[in-house]
A and B are shown apart, each in its own frame.
Chain A
């Protein structure tokens, strides 16, 4: 049992023996991200950007990569990496969040991607999307598959990217290219695409058939990335910081509560460029020695407000305002 177990913890345990019981979680934290005294860097370093793979990393030679483009199953064009050499990538700052992310595993990062709206690529390849098409079926080289509404293509929310933070897209992020879908969780952002099919019906993919949201529109949520729940911190001042995000719905306010939601104070929002990019906030607490419980609340431009710390219904994405408890020592 490596974390420090204090007399206070023992007293709690002994008291618990009499009635309803009690629990304590004590943690040691090793941060991997480059948090600074000012908080979270707005742009996540490439090697710190989260990676989630449902089905393992695929194995293929980069020179052999190609992606078939089909209409109702019939191949009408082939996308190869040569095309990217002829295009000038446009920088797109964009936040990705995993639909399965939660307070324990807050999978969210922000980066500058290089690519173009996928509609431009289809125009170059001479692909005419039939007006009756409803969904685009994407399949990756890892056999992951999902569907994205054609309307996202039309509205240029669907991008194909081959650069990340000014460098080539790393393999673990989908090289030679991947898709970004503005406003939708990572489940819709396919990596290593090898097959794209325009379908006349809605398509349910790998996760959607197991109950995860097909719409996958970002929900309003907020994470506290520091301090970590259960950790020990040293006063007299404690810097609390984290993220807030709601996809295309800009975050307008992040509040913090130290009394279980009875009263709220505004945090300092220090990065809030707009839709599809995360909001970063911080709060400097002048803390007395002892236990501190913190909860946050996120409000968006459309008036949506985050739910309680547990959120409601993980299958559509976390929609809570996270809470943490930590101990302050002098």
Chain B
């Protein structure tokens, strides 16, 4: 499975109150020529015989955060992507050698994340992320002999992830740091995927170091997950990259980001970049 990894619905620890919001439309691109598998351990069922020679994907997404309460900071964030993927592959057997490209267009995972502040004085919050697949896997390239090569937006599974988020500022508020850690529970509720796979729960984490430089905000962001048990198909990765937000006018900003997979397992390892237009209340 090759999943587009750029982007997530994770919000920061500064929980919004009613009237505060942030919305963004963005386009992300991802490119890789390598799919990482565990060592070829038959016990894990890994064969290494994936045959993909290149993967290029676009992802167009809408993201928003909105405060819900004036009494106490409570917000909900949501993200909905459309994914377009191109998988180059080679398939060789006794009778033929096939080179091909599989093109797939699908809505991705809808991510919903209600969040509540745990303190009025400090940026500490708790959240529950719910991942709802808007696609099914069985229908992807269903009529093709080469269906195994078609890109999938994800694993078609509902995930529940409770998060704890915390952060703090420095340099008179010009700089800040934040971090999140969560427990991703794989529910085994699949949408339209006939599989006996049982994905492994994992610890998920993220962090940002940011600073304001005039009207520009610069950040270094890390995201990742580590499974509690090694298997042959549950993805794990760590991704790092810079992000920037250029304020154009009042709350209107152009955002840009890039990210490298510095480590991955059971998924592609590559490079992504993206750009977006956002609006936020000041």
Most A CB within 10 A of own CB, among B91, B96, B97: B96
Binds A, one of B81-89, B175-183, B242-250: B81-89
Interface string of A20-39 (1 = CB under 8 A from B): 11111111111111000000
Interface centre among A22, A26, A104, A109 (most CB of B within 10 A): A104
The answer to whether A105 and B93 touch across the interface, beta carbons within 8 angstroms, is yes
Q: Pick from A121-129, A179-187, A225-233 the stretch touching chain B.
A: A225-233
Provided the pairs A21-B105, A21-B106 are in contact, do residues A28 and B98 lie with their beta carbons within 8 angstroms?
yes
**Are A27 and B146 in touch, CB under 8 angstroms?**
yes
**Which residues of A (1-57) have their CB < 8 Å from a CB of B?**
1-3, 5, 9, 13, 16-17, 20-33, 48-51
- Chain A residues positioned under 8 Å from B209 (CB to CB): none
Contacts of B99 in A (CB 8 A): 2-3, 27-28, 30
Residues from chain A with a CB closer than 8 A to the CB of B101 are 1-3, 5, 25-27
B258 within 8 A of A: no
Q: How far is the CA of A307 from the CA of B97 in the complex (A)?
A: 27
Cross-chain contact A103 with B103 (CB below 8 angstroms): no
B107 at the interface (CB under 8 A from A): yes
User: Which of A30, A48, A229 meets B94, CB within 8 Å?
Assistant: A48
Q: Which of chain B's residues have a CB closer than 8 A to the CB of A16?
A: 105-106
In the assembled complex, A325 has its CB within 8 A of some CB on chain B: yes
Closest CB in chain B relative to A8 CB, distance in Å: 12
List the B residue with the shortest CB-CB distance to A28. B99
Q: Residue of B at shortest CB range from A48?
A: B94
Do B95 and A5 touch across chains, with their CB atoms under 8 A apart? no
- Contact present for A23 and B102 (CB under 8 Å): yes
Any B CB within 8 A of the CB of A323: yes
Chain B residue nearest in CB terms to A15: B105
Name the A residues within 8 Å of B206 (CB-CB).
none
Interface residues on B, range: 20 to 34
A5, B105: Cα distance in complex, Å: 15
Residues of A near B144 (CB, < 8 A) are 23, 25, 229-230, 325
The reply to whether the CB of A106 lies closer than 8 angstroms to some CB of chain B is yes
Cβ A13 vs Cβ B105 within 8 A = yes
Q: Any chain B CB within 8 A of the CB of A67?
A: no
Q: Hey, which chain A residues are within 8 Å of B56, CB to CB?
A: 1
Which residues on the A side are within 8 Å of B95 (C-beta)?
A: 31-33, 48, 50, 106, 225
Interface centre among A2, A21, A49 (most CB of B within 10 A): A21
Task: Give which listed residue, A3, A26, A109, A323, contacts B143 with CB less than 8 A.
Answer: A323
Cα-based distance from A29 to B96 in the complex (angstroms): 7
Q: How near does chain A come to B54, taking the closest CB pair, in angstroms?
A: 8
Residues of A within 8 A of B103 (CB): 5, 9, 13, 23-26
Chain B, 90-119, CB within 8 A of any chain A CB: 91, 93-107
Please name all residues of chain A whose beta carbon is closer than 8 Å to the beta carbon of B147 when the two chains form the complex: 25
Smallest CB separation, B106 vs chain A (Å): 4
Q: Which residues of A have CB within 8 Å of B107?
A: 21
**Residue of A5, A30, A225, A229 contacting most chain B CB atoms (<10 Å):** A229
Contact with B along A64-90 (1 / 0, CB 8 A): 000000000000000000000000000
B135 in contact (CB, < 8 A): yes
Chain B hits for A28, CB < 8 A: 98-100
- List chain B residues, Cβ under 8 A from A21: 104-107, 135, 139-140
Contact with A228, one of B82, B96, B149 (Cβ below 8 angstroms):
B96
A107-B100 contact given A21-B106, A325-B144, CB 8 Å threshold: no
User: Which chain A residues lie closer than 8 Å to B143 at the CB level?
Assistant: 293, 309, 323, 325
In the assembled complex, the Cα of A90 lies from the Cα of B56 at a distance in Å of 55
**Interchain nearest-CB distance for A264 vs B (Å):** 18
State the CA gap A107–B99 with chains docked (Å): 18
Is A324 in contact with chain B by the CB < 8 A criterion?
A: yes
Nearest chain A CB to B139's CB is how many angstroms away? 7
A325–B143 Cα distance when bound, in Å, is: 8
Determine if B150 is an interface residue (Cβ-Cβ < 8 Å): yes
Closest beta carbon of chain B to A99's beta carbon, Å: 15
Q: Are B94 and A109 in contact (CB under 8 A)?
A: yes
For B86, the chain A residues whose CB sits under 8 A away are 1
Q: Does any Cβ of A come within 8 Å of B145's Cβ?
A: yes
Chain A: minimal CB distance from B264 (Å): 23
Which residues of chain B are within 8 angstroms of A22 by Cβ–Cβ distance?
A: 104-105
In whole angstroms, what is the CA distance A175 to B98 when docked? 30
Closest to B136 in A: A20
Which residues of A are found within 8 Å of B150, using beta-carbon distances? 23, 25
Judge if B188 is at the interface, Cβ distance under 8 Å. no
Contacts of A26 in B (CB 8 A): 100-101, 103
Assess the B100–A3 pair: CB atoms within 8 A. Answer: yes
1/0 per position for A286-328, CB-CB distance to B under 8 A? 0000000100000000000000010000000000001111000
Per CB-CB distance, the 5 closest pairs between chain A and chain B, nearest first, are A50-B94, A27-B100, A229-B145, A21-B106, A16-B105
A-B residue pairs in contact (CB < 8 Å), sample of 14: A3-B101, A20-B139, A21-B104, A23-B144, A23-B150, A26-B101, A30-B96, A30-B99, A31-B96, A33-B96, A50-B95, A228-B145, A229-B145, A322-B145
Beyond A24-B102, A28-B100, A33-B96, list 13 extra A-B contacts (CB 8 Å). Answer: A2-B88, A5-B101, A13-B105, A16-B106, A23-B104, A26-B101, A26-B103, A31-B96, A32-B95, A48-B94, A50-B95, A109-B94, A229-B144
